[in-house]
A and B are shown apart, each in its own frame.
Chain A
Protein backbone atom coordinates (compact mmCIF):
# COMPACT_ATOMS: atom_id res chain seq x y z
CA UNK A 1 0.00 0.00 0.00
CA UNK A 2 1.12 3.54 -0.77
CA UNK A 3 -0.19 6.35 1.40
CA UNK A 4 0.41 10.03 0.96
CA UNK A 5 -1.02 12.20 3.72
CA UNK A 6 -1.38 15.98 3.67
CA UNK A 7 1.34 16.41 1.07
CA UNK A 8 2.10 19.97 -0.08
CA UNK A 9 4.73 21.21 -2.48
CA UNK A 10 5.50 24.62 -3.96
CA UNK A 11 7.89 25.63 -6.70
CA UNK A 12 8.49 29.30 -6.01
CA UNK A 13 5.06 30.91 -6.16
CA UNK A 14 3.45 27.98 -7.92
CA UNK A 15 1.52 25.61 -5.65
CA UNK A 16 2.03 22.18 -7.21
CA UNK A 17 0.35 20.18 -4.44
CA UNK A 18 -2.01 21.59 -1.85
CA UNK A 19 -2.63 19.25 1.08
CA UNK A 20 -3.08 16.09 -0.98
CA UNK A 21 -3.90 12.71 0.57
CA UNK A 22 -4.25 9.49 -1.41
CA UNK A 23 -4.21 5.78 -0.75
CA UNK A 24 -3.16 3.17 -3.28
CA UNK A 25 -4.09 -0.41 -2.45
CA UNK A 26 -1.44 -3.14 -2.68
CA UNK A 27 -1.56 -4.88 -6.02
CA UNK A 28 -3.78 -2.28 -7.63
CA UNK A 29 -3.27 -0.38 -10.86
CA UNK A 30 -3.98 3.28 -10.20
CA UNK A 31 -4.00 6.27 -12.53
CA UNK A 32 -3.26 9.84 -11.50
CA UNK A 33 -5.32 11.79 -14.00
CA UNK A 34 -5.41 15.53 -14.50
CA UNK A 35 -4.65 18.43 -16.83
CA UNK A 36 -1.09 19.75 -17.02
CA UNK A 37 -0.11 21.66 -13.92
CA UNK A 38 -2.52 19.65 -11.76
CA UNK A 39 0.32 18.25 -9.65
CA UNK A 40 0.02 14.62 -10.72
CA UNK A 41 3.65 14.22 -11.82
CA UNK A 42 4.91 16.04 -8.73
CA UNK A 43 2.95 13.65 -6.52
CA UNK A 44 4.42 10.66 -8.36
CA UNK A 45 7.95 12.07 -8.07
CA UNK A 46 7.41 12.67 -4.35
CA UNK A 47 6.32 9.04 -3.94
CA UNK A 48 9.52 7.99 -5.75
CA UNK A 49 11.67 10.30 -3.64
CA UNK A 50 12.82 12.35 -6.63
CA UNK A 51 11.18 15.39 -5.09
CA UNK A 52 10.87 16.33 -1.41
CA UNK A 53 7.48 17.46 -0.13
CA UNK A 54 7.33 20.75 1.81
CA UNK A 55 4.87 19.10 4.17
CA UNK A 56 3.19 15.73 4.55
CA UNK A 57 4.11 12.07 4.87
CA UNK A 58 4.71 9.21 2.46
CA UNK A 59 4.33 5.60 3.61
CA UNK A 60 5.42 2.76 1.33
CA UNK A 61 4.44 -0.80 2.27
CA UNK A 62 3.99 0.15 5.90
CA UNK A 63 7.30 1.99 6.23
CA UNK A 64 7.67 5.75 6.61
CA UNK A 65 9.48 6.85 3.46
CA UNK A 66 9.29 10.65 3.53
CA UNK A 67 13.01 11.16 4.22
CA UNK A 68 14.28 7.96 2.58
CA UNK A 69 16.41 8.66 -0.53
CA UNK A 70 15.06 7.24 -3.83
CA UNK A 71 17.74 4.52 -4.05
CA UNK A 72 16.47 2.94 -0.84
CA UNK A 73 12.73 3.09 -1.54
CA UNK A 74 12.45 -0.04 -3.63
CA UNK A 75 10.43 1.66 -6.35
CA UNK A 76 10.65 1.23 -10.10
CA UNK A 77 10.25 4.47 -12.06
CA UNK A 78 9.53 4.90 -15.75
CA UNK A 79 10.02 8.34 -17.32
CA UNK A 80 8.03 9.85 -20.17
CA UNK A 81 11.15 10.27 -22.28
CA UNK A 82 12.53 6.83 -21.29
CA UNK A 83 15.72 8.11 -19.55
CA UNK A 84 17.57 5.29 -21.29
CA UNK A 85 21.25 5.01 -20.42
CA UNK A 86 22.49 5.94 -23.87
CA UNK A 87 26.00 4.57 -23.45
CA UNK A 88 24.79 1.11 -22.40
CA UNK A 89 23.27 -1.74 -24.39
CA UNK A 90 19.72 -2.92 -23.79
CA UNK A 91 21.05 -5.78 -21.63
CA UNK A 92 23.20 -3.45 -19.52
CA UNK A 93 20.31 -1.04 -19.10
CA UNK A 94 18.02 -3.80 -17.87
CA UNK A 95 20.66 -5.36 -15.63
CA UNK A 96 21.70 -2.03 -14.06
CA UNK A 97 19.74 -2.34 -10.80
CA UNK A 98 21.09 -5.87 -10.22
CA UNK A 99 24.65 -4.84 -11.00
CA UNK A 100 24.36 -2.01 -8.46
CA UNK A 101 23.14 -4.62 -5.94
CA UNK A 102 26.23 -6.72 -6.75
CA UNK A 103 24.23 -9.83 -7.63
CA UNK A 104 26.17 -12.77 -9.10
CA UNK A 105 26.75 -12.52 -12.83
CA UNK A 106 24.86 -15.71 -13.67
CA UNK A 107 21.82 -14.49 -11.78
CA UNK A 108 21.89 -11.13 -13.60
CA UNK A 109 22.15 -12.90 -16.95
CA UNK A 110 19.19 -15.15 -16.18
CA UNK A 111 17.02 -12.29 -14.92
CA UNK A 112 17.86 -10.09 -17.92
CA UNK A 113 16.98 -12.95 -20.28
CA UNK A 114 13.67 -13.37 -18.51
CA UNK A 115 12.86 -9.65 -18.69
CA UNK A 116 13.90 -9.35 -22.34
CA UNK A 117 11.42 -12.11 -23.04
CA UNK A 118 8.75 -10.40 -20.96
CA UNK A 119 9.05 -7.08 -22.81
CA UNK A 120 9.42 -8.78 -26.18
CA UNK A 121 12.88 -7.45 -27.01
CA UNK A 122 14.47 -10.77 -27.90
CA UNK A 123 17.28 -10.18 -30.39
CA UNK A 124 17.70 -6.55 -29.33
CA UNK A 125 19.86 -7.20 -26.24
CA UNK A 126 23.09 -5.92 -27.75
CA UNK A 127 21.66 -2.83 -29.37
CA UNK A 128 22.02 0.66 -27.97
CA UNK A 129 18.94 2.76 -27.11
CA UNK A 130 19.55 5.01 -30.13
CA UNK A 131 18.94 1.96 -32.34
CA UNK A 132 15.48 1.29 -30.90
CA UNK A 133 12.06 2.78 -31.68
CA UNK A 134 10.24 4.80 -29.03
CA UNK A 135 7.99 1.90 -28.08
CA UNK A 136 10.97 -0.45 -27.76
CA UNK A 137 12.85 2.06 -25.63
CA UNK A 138 9.91 2.41 -23.30
CA UNK A 139 9.59 -1.38 -22.98
CA UNK A 140 13.30 -1.53 -22.17
CA UNK A 141 12.80 1.18 -19.53
CA UNK A 142 9.95 -0.88 -18.05
CA UNK A 143 12.08 -4.02 -17.93
CA UNK A 144 14.87 -2.00 -16.30
CA UNK A 145 12.45 -0.70 -13.65
CA UNK A 146 11.15 -4.22 -12.95
CA UNK A 147 14.57 -5.90 -12.72
CA UNK A 148 15.04 -5.55 -8.98
CA UNK A 149 11.43 -6.56 -8.28
CA UNK A 150 10.25 -3.25 -6.87
CA UNK A 151 7.42 -3.13 -4.35
CA UNK A 152 5.94 -0.29 -6.34
CA UNK A 153 6.05 0.57 -10.04
CA UNK A 154 5.64 4.24 -10.89
CA UNK A 155 5.17 5.49 -14.47
CA UNK A 156 5.23 9.18 -15.39
CA UNK A 157 3.19 9.68 -18.59
CA UNK A 158 4.79 6.50 -19.92
CA UNK A 159 3.06 6.55 -23.31
CA UNK A 160 2.94 10.31 -23.79
CA UNK A 161 5.79 10.47 -26.29
CA UNK A 162 4.56 7.59 -28.46
CA UNK A 163 2.32 7.61 -31.50
CA UNK A 164 -1.33 6.60 -31.15
CA UNK A 165 -1.05 3.01 -32.34
CA UNK A 166 1.97 2.13 -30.20
CA UNK A 167 0.30 3.85 -27.28
CA UNK A 168 -2.79 1.66 -27.51
CA UNK A 169 -0.61 -1.43 -27.85
CA UNK A 170 1.47 -0.58 -24.79
CA UNK A 171 -1.63 0.21 -22.73
CA UNK A 172 -3.05 -3.24 -23.29
CA UNK A 173 0.36 -4.67 -22.66
CA UNK A 174 0.79 -2.79 -19.35
CA UNK A 175 -2.62 -4.05 -18.25
CA UNK A 176 -1.62 -7.64 -19.05
CA UNK A 177 1.75 -7.23 -17.36
CA UNK A 178 0.01 -6.02 -14.23
CA UNK A 179 -2.34 -8.99 -14.27
CA UNK A 180 0.71 -11.28 -14.36
CA UNK A 181 2.92 -9.58 -11.77
CA UNK A 182 0.40 -7.78 -9.53
CA UNK A 183 3.01 -5.17 -8.69
CA UNK A 184 1.36 -2.13 -7.11
CA UNK A 185 1.41 0.30 -10.01
CA UNK A 186 0.72 4.03 -10.26
CA UNK A 187 0.82 5.83 -13.58
CA UNK A 188 0.36 9.46 -14.46
CA UNK A 189 -1.64 10.52 -17.49
CA UNK A 190 -3.55 13.50 -18.84
CA UNK A 191 -5.51 11.25 -21.18
CA UNK A 192 -8.81 10.31 -19.52
CA UNK A 193 -9.42 7.53 -22.03
CA UNK A 194 -6.07 5.97 -21.09
CA UNK A 195 -6.82 6.23 -17.38
CA UNK A 196 -10.32 4.76 -17.76
CA UNK A 197 -9.13 1.94 -19.99
CA UNK A 198 -6.10 0.78 -18.00
CA UNK A 199 -6.63 1.56 -14.32
CA UNK A 200 -8.78 -0.12 -11.61
CA UNK A 201 -8.74 3.09 -9.69
CA UNK A 202 -8.44 6.68 -10.93
CA UNK A 203 -7.38 9.67 -8.87
CA UNK A 204 -8.57 12.85 -10.62
CA UNK A 205 -6.39 15.86 -9.81
CA UNK A 206 -6.80 19.53 -10.56
CA UNK A 207 -4.78 22.57 -9.43
CA UNK A 208 -2.81 20.64 -6.85
CA UNK A 209 -5.81 18.96 -5.25
CA UNK A 210 -7.60 15.63 -5.51
CA UNK A 211 -11.07 16.09 -6.99
CA UNK A 212 -12.17 12.47 -6.73
CA UNK A 213 -10.65 8.99 -6.35
CA UNK A 214 -12.78 6.11 -7.53
CA UNK A 215 -13.15 3.31 -10.04
CA UNK A 216 -13.58 4.40 -13.69
CA UNK A 217 -17.24 3.41 -13.64
CA UNK A 218 -18.06 5.37 -10.50
CA UNK A 219 -16.19 8.40 -11.84
CA UNK A 220 -18.17 8.40 -15.03
CA UNK A 221 -21.57 7.65 -13.53
CA UNK A 222 -21.38 9.64 -10.32
CA UNK A 223 -18.76 12.37 -10.67
CA UNK A 224 -18.17 14.27 -7.45
CA UNK A 225 -18.23 17.70 -9.04
CA UNK A 226 -18.43 19.67 -12.26
CA UNK A 227 -14.68 19.38 -12.91
CA UNK A 228 -14.73 15.57 -12.84
CA UNK A 229 -17.94 15.55 -14.87
CA UNK A 230 -16.37 17.59 -17.65
CA UNK A 231 -12.83 16.14 -17.48
CA UNK A 232 -13.76 12.47 -17.40
CA UNK A 233 -15.79 11.94 -20.53
CA UNK A 234 -17.54 14.79 -22.29
CA UNK A 235 -20.44 16.76 -20.87
CA UNK A 236 -22.77 19.56 -21.92
CA UNK A 237 -23.97 22.22 -19.59
CA UNK A 238 -27.65 23.13 -19.55
CA UNK A 239 -28.13 25.83 -16.97
CA UNK A 240 -27.36 24.23 -13.61
CA UNK A 241 -27.32 20.70 -14.90
CA UNK A 242 -24.78 18.61 -16.83
CA UNK A 243 -25.70 16.14 -19.55
CA UNK A 244 -23.54 13.46 -21.19
CA UNK A 245 -23.57 13.55 -25.03
CA UNK A 246 -25.38 10.19 -25.18
CA UNK A 247 -28.05 11.30 -22.70
CA UNK A 248 -29.67 13.70 -25.17
CA UNK A 249 -32.79 12.78 -27.11
CA UNK A 250 -33.05 14.26 -30.60
CA UNK A 251 -36.37 15.13 -32.24
CA UNK A 252 -37.18 16.88 -35.50
CA UNK A 253 -40.09 18.82 -34.00
CA UNK A 254 -39.99 20.98 -30.88
CA UNK A 255 -42.06 20.23 -27.82
CA UNK A 256 -42.29 22.02 -24.48
CA UNK A 257 -39.01 20.91 -22.94
CA UNK A 258 -36.68 20.77 -25.96
CA UNK A 259 -34.03 23.24 -27.06
CA UNK A 260 -33.30 24.26 -30.59
CA UNK A 261 -29.84 23.39 -31.97
CA UNK A 262 -28.13 23.56 -35.34
CA UNK A 263 -25.94 20.69 -36.59
CA UNK A 264 -22.42 21.94 -37.46
CA UNK A 265 -20.67 18.68 -38.12
CA UNK A 266 -21.33 14.95 -38.11
CA UNK A 267 -18.48 12.54 -37.46
CA UNK A 268 -18.87 8.81 -38.03
CA UNK A 269 -16.67 6.77 -35.70
CA UNK A 270 -17.45 3.11 -36.31
CA UNK A 271 -20.97 2.41 -35.16
CA UNK A 272 -21.17 5.70 -33.34
CA UNK A 273 -22.05 9.12 -34.72
CA UNK A 274 -20.79 12.23 -32.98
CA UNK A 275 -22.43 15.52 -33.76
CA UNK A 276 -21.23 19.00 -32.99
CA UNK A 277 -24.15 21.32 -32.46
CA UNK A 278 -24.70 24.97 -31.63
CA UNK A 279 -27.47 26.01 -29.30
CA UNK A 280 -29.73 29.00 -30.03
CA UNK A 281 -27.72 30.99 -27.46
CA UNK A 282 -24.47 30.22 -29.31
CA UNK A 283 -23.13 27.60 -26.85
CA UNK A 284 -21.66 24.44 -28.37
CA UNK A 285 -23.28 21.09 -27.59
CA UNK A 286 -21.89 17.65 -28.30
CA UNK A 287 -24.18 14.79 -29.07
CA UNK A 288 -23.54 11.10 -29.44
CA UNK A 289 -25.94 8.66 -31.02
CA UNK A 290 -25.93 5.37 -32.83
CA UNK A 291 -25.67 5.18 -36.59
CA UNK A 292 -29.19 3.71 -36.79
CA UNK A 293 -30.67 6.67 -34.94
CA UNK A 294 -28.79 9.16 -37.10
CA UNK A 295 -30.04 7.42 -40.24
CA UNK A 296 -33.61 7.23 -38.98
CA UNK A 297 -33.62 10.98 -38.32
CA UNK A 298 -31.74 11.65 -41.61
CA UNK A 299 -29.52 14.18 -39.88
CA UNK A 300 -27.59 16.58 -42.14
CA UNK A 301 -25.08 19.32 -41.36
CA UNK A 302 -26.79 22.70 -41.25
CA UNK A 303 -30.10 21.17 -40.14
CA UNK A 304 -32.06 22.53 -37.18
CA UNK A 305 -33.15 19.88 -34.66
CA UNK A 306 -34.36 19.78 -31.05
CA UNK A 307 -32.72 18.11 -28.06
CA UNK A 308 -33.93 17.14 -24.61
CA UNK A 309 -31.85 15.69 -21.74
CA UNK A 310 -33.03 12.23 -20.71
CA UNK A 311 -30.62 12.03 -17.76
CA UNK A 312 -28.82 14.89 -16.08
CA UNK A 313 -26.62 15.67 -13.13
CA UNK A 314 -26.85 18.72 -10.92
CA UNK A 315 -24.01 19.72 -8.56
Chain B
Protein backbone atom coordinates (compact mmCIF):
# COMPACT_ATOMS: atom_id res chain seq x y z
CA UNK B 1 0.00 0.00 0.00
CA UNK B 2 2.74 2.37 1.01
CA UNK B 3 4.78 1.44 -2.04
CA UNK B 4 1.78 2.17 -4.24
CA UNK B 5 1.22 5.62 -2.74
CA UNK B 6 4.95 6.34 -3.05
CA UNK B 7 4.75 5.47 -6.71
CA UNK B 8 1.75 7.75 -7.15
CA UNK B 9 3.55 10.60 -5.41
CA UNK B 10 6.61 10.20 -7.65
CA UNK B 11 4.50 9.94 -10.76
CA UNK B 12 2.30 12.86 -9.76
CA UNK B 13 5.32 15.03 -9.11
CA UNK B 14 6.76 14.26 -12.55
CA UNK B 15 3.37 14.88 -14.12
CA UNK B 16 3.01 18.32 -12.56
CA UNK B 17 6.63 19.43 -12.95
CA UNK B 18 7.57 17.97 -16.32
CA UNK B 19 4.71 16.72 -18.42
CA UNK B 20 2.21 19.38 -17.34
CA UNK B 21 4.02 22.33 -18.89
CA UNK B 22 4.77 20.36 -22.06
CA UNK B 23 1.11 19.42 -22.41
CA UNK B 24 0.14 23.05 -21.85
CA UNK B 25 2.50 23.98 -24.67
CA UNK B 26 0.71 21.55 -27.00
CA UNK B 27 -2.64 22.84 -25.97
CA UNK B 28 -1.71 26.50 -26.47
CA UNK B 29 -0.33 25.83 -29.95
CA UNK B 30 -3.53 24.02 -30.81
CA UNK B 31 -5.53 27.01 -29.53
CA UNK B 32 -3.42 29.62 -31.32
CA UNK B 33 -3.49 27.67 -34.55
CA UNK B 34 -0.97 25.22 -35.93
CA UNK B 35 -0.32 27.42 -38.96
CA UNK B 36 1.22 30.24 -36.96
CA UNK B 37 3.50 27.90 -35.04
CA UNK B 38 4.55 26.22 -38.29
CA UNK B 39 5.35 29.47 -40.02
CA UNK B 40 7.48 30.47 -37.02
CA UNK B 41 9.36 27.19 -37.33
CA UNK B 42 10.12 27.58 -41.03
CA UNK B 43 11.07 31.22 -40.62
CA UNK B 44 14.62 31.72 -41.97
CA UNK B 45 15.87 33.15 -38.66
CA UNK B 46 14.44 30.21 -36.71
CA UNK B 47 16.06 27.72 -39.08
CA UNK B 48 19.30 29.62 -38.68
CA UNK B 49 18.92 29.51 -34.89
CA UNK B 50 18.52 25.73 -34.91
CA UNK B 51 21.45 25.35 -37.31
CA UNK B 52 23.61 27.51 -35.06
CA UNK B 53 22.58 25.50 -32.00
CA UNK B 54 23.51 22.26 -33.76
CA UNK B 55 26.78 23.74 -34.97
CA UNK B 56 27.72 24.80 -31.44
CA UNK B 57 26.73 21.38 -30.07
CA UNK B 58 28.74 19.60 -32.77
CA UNK B 59 31.85 21.41 -31.56
CA UNK B 60 31.20 21.30 -27.81
CA UNK B 61 30.08 17.67 -27.55
CA UNK B 62 33.15 16.02 -29.18
CA UNK B 63 35.48 18.34 -27.26
CA UNK B 64 33.90 17.51 -23.92
CA UNK B 65 33.71 13.82 -24.76
CA UNK B 66 37.46 13.65 -25.31
CA UNK B 67 38.09 15.92 -22.32
CA UNK B 68 35.78 13.85 -20.12
CA UNK B 69 37.51 10.58 -20.98
CA UNK B 70 41.00 12.06 -20.56
CA UNK B 71 40.14 13.67 -17.21
CA UNK B 72 38.41 10.46 -16.09
CA UNK B 73 41.49 8.38 -16.90
CA UNK B 74 43.79 10.92 -15.24
CA UNK B 75 41.72 11.15 -12.06
CA UNK B 76 41.12 7.42 -11.68
CA UNK B 77 44.31 5.86 -13.06
CA UNK B 78 47.07 8.33 -12.34
CA UNK B 79 48.54 9.99 -9.30
CA UNK B 80 49.59 13.58 -9.75
CA UNK B 81 49.76 16.66 -7.55
CA UNK B 82 46.58 18.72 -7.66
CA UNK B 83 44.43 15.75 -8.60
CA UNK B 84 41.79 16.64 -6.03
CA UNK B 85 41.62 20.18 -7.39
CA UNK B 86 41.14 18.93 -10.97
CA UNK B 87 38.40 16.58 -9.81
CA UNK B 88 36.64 19.41 -8.00
CA UNK B 89 37.01 21.86 -10.89
CA UNK B 90 35.26 19.46 -13.26
CA UNK B 91 32.15 20.08 -11.15
CA UNK B 92 32.51 23.86 -11.14
CA UNK B 93 30.06 24.44 -14.02
CA UNK B 94 27.40 22.55 -12.06
CA UNK B 95 27.77 24.94 -9.15
CA UNK B 96 28.19 28.16 -11.11
CA UNK B 97 25.23 30.00 -12.60
CA UNK B 98 25.58 30.20 -16.41
CA UNK B 99 25.01 33.96 -16.24
CA UNK B 100 28.19 34.25 -14.18
CA UNK B 101 30.01 32.20 -16.81
CA UNK B 102 28.83 34.61 -19.49
CA UNK B 103 29.85 37.66 -17.51
CA UNK B 104 33.31 36.29 -16.73
CA UNK B 105 33.82 35.74 -20.46
CA UNK B 106 33.17 39.48 -20.84
CA UNK B 107 35.92 40.16 -18.34
CA UNK B 108 38.33 38.07 -20.41
CA UNK B 109 37.39 39.02 -23.95
CA UNK B 110 35.74 42.43 -23.54
CA UNK B 111 37.37 45.58 -24.92
CA UNK B 112 39.25 46.11 -21.65
CA UNK B 113 39.55 42.42 -20.77
CA UNK B 114 42.75 40.39 -20.46
CA UNK B 115 42.67 38.81 -23.92
CA UNK B 116 40.17 41.14 -25.60
CA UNK B 117 42.63 43.68 -27.03
CA UNK B 118 44.90 40.97 -28.48
CA UNK B 119 42.04 39.27 -30.32
CA UNK B 120 40.68 42.60 -31.58
CA UNK B 121 44.12 43.54 -32.86
CA UNK B 122 44.26 40.26 -34.80
CA UNK B 123 40.81 40.79 -36.27
CA UNK B 124 39.15 37.94 -34.42
CA UNK B 125 35.79 38.71 -32.93
CA UNK B 126 35.06 36.58 -29.89
CA UNK B 127 32.13 38.28 -28.14
CA UNK B 128 28.79 38.49 -29.99
CA UNK B 129 30.05 35.80 -32.36
CA UNK B 130 30.39 32.04 -32.68
CA UNK B 131 33.63 31.73 -30.59
CA UNK B 132 31.97 33.14 -27.46
CA UNK B 133 28.86 30.98 -27.87
CA UNK B 134 31.05 27.90 -28.30
CA UNK B 135 33.25 28.83 -25.33
CA UNK B 136 30.41 29.23 -22.86
CA UNK B 137 28.60 26.14 -24.14
CA UNK B 138 31.78 24.06 -23.80
CA UNK B 139 32.21 25.43 -20.28
CA UNK B 140 28.72 24.68 -19.02
CA UNK B 141 28.73 21.14 -20.48
CA UNK B 142 32.17 20.08 -19.20
CA UNK B 143 31.14 17.83 -16.28
CA UNK B 144 28.74 15.35 -17.83
CA UNK B 145 30.97 12.85 -19.67
CA UNK B 146 33.63 12.97 -16.93
CA UNK B 147 31.00 12.40 -14.22
CA UNK B 148 29.72 9.29 -16.01
CA UNK B 149 33.17 7.95 -16.88
CA UNK B 150 34.85 8.36 -13.48
CA UNK B 151 32.69 5.94 -11.41
CA UNK B 152 32.63 3.43 -14.26
CA UNK B 153 36.42 3.44 -14.51
CA UNK B 154 36.68 3.04 -10.73
CA UNK B 155 34.36 0.07 -10.78
CA UNK B 156 36.14 -1.45 -13.78
CA UNK B 157 39.48 -1.49 -11.94
CA UNK B 158 42.90 -1.76 -13.48
CA UNK B 159 43.32 -5.50 -13.78
CA UNK B 160 41.96 -5.94 -17.30
CA UNK B 161 44.30 -3.21 -18.55
CA UNK B 162 47.24 -4.80 -16.74
CA UNK B 163 46.31 -8.17 -18.22
CA UNK B 164 46.31 -6.56 -21.68
CA UNK B 165 49.80 -5.17 -21.01
CA UNK B 166 51.20 -8.55 -19.98
CA UNK B 167 49.70 -9.92 -23.20
CA UNK B 168 51.71 -7.44 -25.24
CA UNK B 169 49.36 -4.47 -25.60
CA UNK B 170 50.81 -0.94 -25.51
CA UNK B 171 49.03 1.76 -23.52
CA UNK B 172 47.23 2.94 -26.63
CA UNK B 173 46.18 -0.58 -27.65
CA UNK B 174 44.93 -1.33 -24.14
CA UNK B 175 42.88 1.87 -24.22
CA UNK B 176 41.21 1.17 -27.58
CA UNK B 177 40.70 -2.56 -27.13
CA UNK B 178 39.97 -2.86 -23.41
CA UNK B 179 39.25 0.41 -21.61
CA UNK B 180 37.05 2.19 -24.15
CA UNK B 181 34.84 -0.82 -24.96
CA UNK B 182 34.41 -1.38 -21.21
CA UNK B 183 33.23 2.17 -20.52
CA UNK B 184 31.34 2.69 -23.78
CA UNK B 185 27.87 2.83 -22.21
CA UNK B 186 28.98 5.44 -19.72
CA UNK B 187 30.52 7.49 -22.55
CA UNK B 188 27.40 7.24 -24.71
CA UNK B 189 25.18 8.20 -21.79
CA UNK B 190 27.47 11.12 -21.02
CA UNK B 191 27.38 12.23 -24.66
CA UNK B 192 23.59 12.22 -24.69
CA UNK B 193 23.40 14.29 -21.50
CA UNK B 194 26.07 16.69 -22.80
CA UNK B 195 24.17 17.11 -26.05
CA UNK B 196 20.98 17.90 -24.15
CA UNK B 197 22.81 20.45 -22.04
CA UNK B 198 24.34 22.12 -25.12
CA UNK B 199 21.02 22.36 -26.95
CA UNK B 200 19.27 23.78 -23.91
CA UNK B 201 21.86 26.31 -22.71
CA UNK B 202 20.33 29.74 -22.34
CA UNK B 203 21.79 32.01 -19.67
CA UNK B 204 25.46 32.12 -20.58
CA UNK B 205 24.74 32.30 -24.30
CA UNK B 206 22.23 35.12 -23.72
CA UNK B 207 24.96 37.21 -22.08
CA UNK B 208 27.74 36.72 -24.66
CA UNK B 209 25.97 36.20 -27.98
CA UNK B 210 24.18 39.50 -28.36
CA UNK B 211 21.10 37.59 -29.67
CA UNK B 212 21.30 38.97 -33.20
CA UNK B 213 18.51 37.29 -35.20
CA UNK B 214 19.81 35.29 -38.11
CA UNK B 215 23.38 35.62 -36.84
CA UNK B 216 24.08 34.85 -33.18
CA UNK B 217 20.68 33.71 -32.01
CA UNK B 218 20.45 30.11 -30.80
CA UNK B 219 17.20 28.14 -30.53
CA UNK B 220 16.57 28.99 -26.88
CA UNK B 221 17.24 32.67 -27.56
CA UNK B 222 14.84 32.47 -30.49
CA UNK B 223 12.07 31.39 -28.14
CA UNK B 224 12.69 34.38 -25.94
CA UNK B 225 12.86 36.64 -28.98
CA UNK B 226 9.38 35.59 -30.15
CA UNK B 227 8.03 35.81 -26.64
CA UNK B 228 9.31 39.34 -26.07
CA UNK B 229 7.83 40.41 -29.39
CA UNK B 230 4.45 39.16 -28.21
CA UNK B 231 4.41 36.45 -30.89
CA UNK B 232 3.19 33.72 -28.56
CA UNK B 233 2.42 31.22 -31.30
CA UNK B 234 5.98 31.55 -32.59
CA UNK B 235 7.44 31.17 -29.12
CA UNK B 236 5.35 28.08 -28.44
CA UNK B 237 6.23 26.55 -31.80
CA UNK B 238 9.98 26.83 -31.28
CA UNK B 239 9.63 25.81 -27.64
CA UNK B 240 7.67 22.73 -28.65
CA UNK B 241 10.42 21.79 -31.09
CA UNK B 242 12.95 22.00 -28.23
CA UNK B 243 10.55 19.99 -26.09
CA UNK B 244 10.33 17.25 -28.73
CA UNK B 245 14.13 17.14 -28.96
CA UNK B 246 14.19 16.79 -25.15
CA UNK B 247 11.83 13.81 -25.37
CA UNK B 248 14.04 12.14 -27.97
CA UNK B 249 17.06 12.75 -25.71
CA UNK B 250 15.11 11.33 -22.77
CA UNK B 251 14.33 8.17 -24.70
CA UNK B 252 17.98 7.80 -25.71
CA UNK B 253 19.06 8.33 -22.11
CA UNK B 254 16.69 5.66 -20.88
CA UNK B 255 17.99 3.29 -23.54
CA UNK B 256 21.63 3.86 -22.62
CA UNK B 257 21.39 4.29 -18.88
CA UNK B 258 23.22 1.43 -17.14
CA UNK B 259 20.57 -0.82 -15.60
CA UNK B 260 20.54 -0.93 -11.80
CA UNK B 261 22.95 -3.60 -10.67
CA UNK B 262 23.62 -4.86 -14.18
CA UNK B 263 27.13 -4.90 -15.57
CA UNK B 264 27.20 -4.06 -19.23
Contact = CB atoms under 8 A, between A and B. Distances in A.
B168 A50 contact: no
A195 B166 CA distance: 24
A248 B77 CA distance: 55
Contact of A145 (B165, B167, B177): B167
Contact of B166 (A50, A85, A87, A130): A50
Interface string B173-189: 10001100110000000
Given A71-B166, A97-B167, A79 B181 contact: no
A107 to B, nearest CB: 15
B166 A75 contact: yes
B183 to A, nearest CB: 10
Interface string A87-104: 100000000110011000
A234 interface: no
A83 B168 contact: no
B263 interface: yes
B160 A85 contact: yes
B228 interface: no
B184 to A, nearest CB: 8
A69 interface: yes
B162 to A, nearest CB: 5
Interface string A147-167: 110000000000000000000
A209 interface: no
Given A100-B173, A130-B263, A83 B167 contact: no
Given A83-B160, A86-B160, A96 B167 contact: yes
* Interface magnitude class on chain B: 10 to 19
Contact of B159 (A69, A73, A81, A130): A81
B170 interface: yes
A86 B166 contact: no
A100 B159 contact: no
Interface in B146-174: 159-160, 162-170, 173
Contacts of B182: 86-87
Given A86-B263, A87-B182, A101 B168 contact: yes
Contacts of A73: 166
Query: Of residues A72, A77, A147, which shows the largest number of chain B Cβ atoms within 10 Å of its Cβ?
Result: A77
Contacts of B181: 87
Nearest to A144: B167
Query: Of residues A49, A71, A73, A86, which shows the largest number of chain B Cβ atoms within 10 Å of its Cβ?
Result: A71
- B contact patch SS: helix
B160 to A, nearest CB: 5
A48 interface: yes
B160 A76 contact: no
A135 interface: no
A125 interface: no
A201 to B, nearest CB: 23
A145 B168 CA distance: 10
A70 interface: yes
B62 to A, nearest CB: 23
A228 to B, nearest CB: 31
Interface in A281-301: none
Nearest to B161: A83
B160 A77 contact: no
B178 A148 contact: no
B167 A100 contact: yes
Interface in B21-37: none
Nearest to A51: B162
A69 B160 contact: no
A73 B162 CA distance: 13
B168 A71 contact: yes
A189 to B, nearest CB: 18
A100 B178 contact: no
A148 B167 contact: yes
Given A96-B177, A145-B166, 19 more contacts: A49-B166, A70-B165, A71-B166, A75-B166, A79-B162, A79-B163, A83-B159, A83-B162, A85-B163, A85-B164, A85-B178, A86-B160, A86-B263, A87-B181, A96-B164, A100-B167, A100-B169, A141-B163, A144-B167
Interface of A: 48-50, 69-73, 75-77, 79, 81, 83-87, 96-97, 100-101, 130, 141, 144-145, 147-148
3 closest cross-chain pairs (CB), A and B: A77-B166, A83-B163, A97-B167
11 contacts: A70-B166, A71-B168, A71-B169, A83-B160, A84-B160, A85-B160, A96-B167, A100-B164, A100-B168, A144-B163, A147-B167
